A and B are shown apart, each in its own frame.
Chain A
Amino acid sequence: MTMIQALRSAMDVMMEKDDNVVVFGQDVGYFGGVFRCTEGLQKKYGKSRVFDTPISEGGIVGVAIGMGAYGLRPCLEIQFADYIYPAYDQIVSEAARLRFRSAGDFTAPITIRTPCGGGIYGGQTHSQSPEAVFAHVCGLRTVMPSNPYDAKGLLISSIENDDPVIFLEPKRLYNGPFDGHHDKPVVPWSQNPLGEVPEGYYTVPLDKAAIFRPGKQLTVLAYGTMVWVCEAAARETGIDAEIIDLRSLWPLDLETIVESVKKTGRCVVVHEATRTCGFGAELVSLVQEHCFYHLEAPIERVTGWDTPYPHAQEWAYFPGPARVGAAFKRTVEA
């Protein structure tokens, strides 16, 4: 399956399994989503379970919270992560706090799916990676898969989870893995082992990272598209990097990270999002705090620049294998 098909399969499985799962968002119903992630679901489950909404992100998340309070399990879509901000009040002040402020009287078991990330000439408002603004909010879970297998398993886990989940989908990975070599043709998921996805129900646990590529020379902390870029950088530099795909950004799998850095003594953090106060800062801080006496080099960060995501300058902005590889070299040689 492609990541699109895997995500659709996850929703299909969960709608079949649990009558309380409902799917909605802009263009999600009849049309099946602008990325085809919900294609056929309305026909299969009916308009009261899968439906189109007005263009109102605050409204989409707001009604989901009300539905969650009633007892449903909404899985909703915000068309692009770049457009999630009108819903920020509902996400931060309401969904994230409802369980705490009501002492468990009400909860918000909702999943907010939203395509994120660049590398597609999306310009300023079709490329952003806003994970840090959610990882900062107590009460939220922030999740990002990097391949179809994880996408389905993590989405099922997210829908089943009783906490609100921000489920970020790197749209650059929807049809195939992407390692940053934009001049080469995209290889479809059908030619990658991680594109092999079971038809039925399975889960990938939240709060659990995956060692994407085992290695000895340095630890790389990445997620989403950057996992593939880091793998290319390791291949091209010949550096034996241990690439950890975080999968769950927050709460995260600290144990796997610390174990790896203690083993390698070196760490590079890579994300597409802008640098300052990005999620990388938290990762650097955690590694420094927990692995200080094992570190043999400063922790490096390769990220997007502190600029809005540009259009024409896409590949100068996007942290590609050359920039990532250079950081690997500096860290190993330090």
Chain B
Amino acid sequence: MASHYEAPIREPLVTGDKTYHDVTVDVAAPVEGRANKQWWIVFSIALVAFLWGLGCIIYTVSTGIGVWGLNKTVGWAWDITNFVWWVGIGHAGTLISAVLLLFRQKWRMAINRSAEAMTIFSVVQAGLFPIIHMGRPWLAYWVLPIPNQFGSLWVNFNSPLLWDVFAISTYLSVSLVFWWTGLLPDFAMLRDRAVKPFQKKIYSLLSFGWSGRAKDWQRFEEVSLVLAGLATPLVLSVHTIVSFDFATSVIPGWHSTIFPPYFVAGAIFSGFAMVLTLLIIMRKVSNLENYITIVHIENMNKVILLTGGVVSVAYITEFFIGWYSGTNYEDYTYMSIGAATGPYWWAFWALIICNFIVPQTLWVKKLRTNYMWSFIVSIVINIGMWFERFDIIVIDLSKGHLPSSWTMFSPTFIDIGVFIGTIGFFFVLFLLYARTFPVIAQAEVKTILKSSGEKYKKLRDGNHE
């Protein structure tokens, strides 16, 4: 890579006069220190939410799906909305670690670790829903093609719900391996610094005996590149397959060929928003302001602007083709005049405002380089993307082909409780991660310190003149 020369016009990615040692110390500090009171408070809140959600899940499974707000017309609502939302959030992690690696984006190095962690934890949340929304979840293993005593009764490979099983489980496994491989040198760093025997033992186990020899590094890089090459089509195909759940059907509004790339773009859009939400807080509480800089925030905002633009063009396309098709059923889809004025008008406008209008403010440099505004927009987008999935699922189902089946959907507190539970579970995992894992890939950041560190850039620019 062209690391020996960098254009002066590029902005530094590591600010402050950091040395290699400083990077190590800064990254290790949260792991080596003790949790403060705030962490315990937030952790407790998350834990309570999680336990509450767990209660709701147990209640649902033991009592029956009827405790949710679903009805005979709307058979999917919050369950699958949350599923798609969580899977979508997970996509930014792989995008940052894989796609940005393929495009040699150095700024990814400060954010990839947390983005990948976010992927794993949100895919775990997503993975709950396909199981708990089943009527008989104890028979869930029947989705696997295992030889059995029913005359070897197998699954039908024609259903996108089965493809989901393969997509999500492959996605989780590959993401986990990719993440863990990247963690090896960083765990080794923690191992080598640990003073307490217990910590030393733990990080020795986690780092798989990484010793950082030239040959190891060479293979490490190759593996990362191969995994990035595999994870990129994977990330596209996973959300594509999720979109197939809808697009293969014959339901107006669902049956649309643009869904595969449009869902993927939406996933990146919402995933990046979530990364922003988390990192804007993390850079403050973990004292990583020199690594997660305004350049990173701005770049993420630009990706949001781009994917938000792709999603917007897809909305316009849906809207246009809905009209162009000349089918009167298209009047009641989530992207139609009918949706804008129908009983779910608020959901439609929430989508338009949160995903289309508010993100446009990021065109203004002042706003996209403002931490507070980026934080607000990122949360707005996550709300908007939840509504996008809700609109696609519920609005389209509520008014189908037969007017005699038209109905409304309203969630019960169990629906909401399960969702809150997954948010709690996510933060439980993420908060634990932030205290025990090296949240910045220090080994990678050290590779760009001399090309993109502020101190070195200044030195070089001085020499040029």
- Same complex for A and B? Answer no
The residues of A with any CB-CB pair to B shorter than 8 Å are: none
The residues of B with any CB-CB pair to A shorter than 8 Å are: none
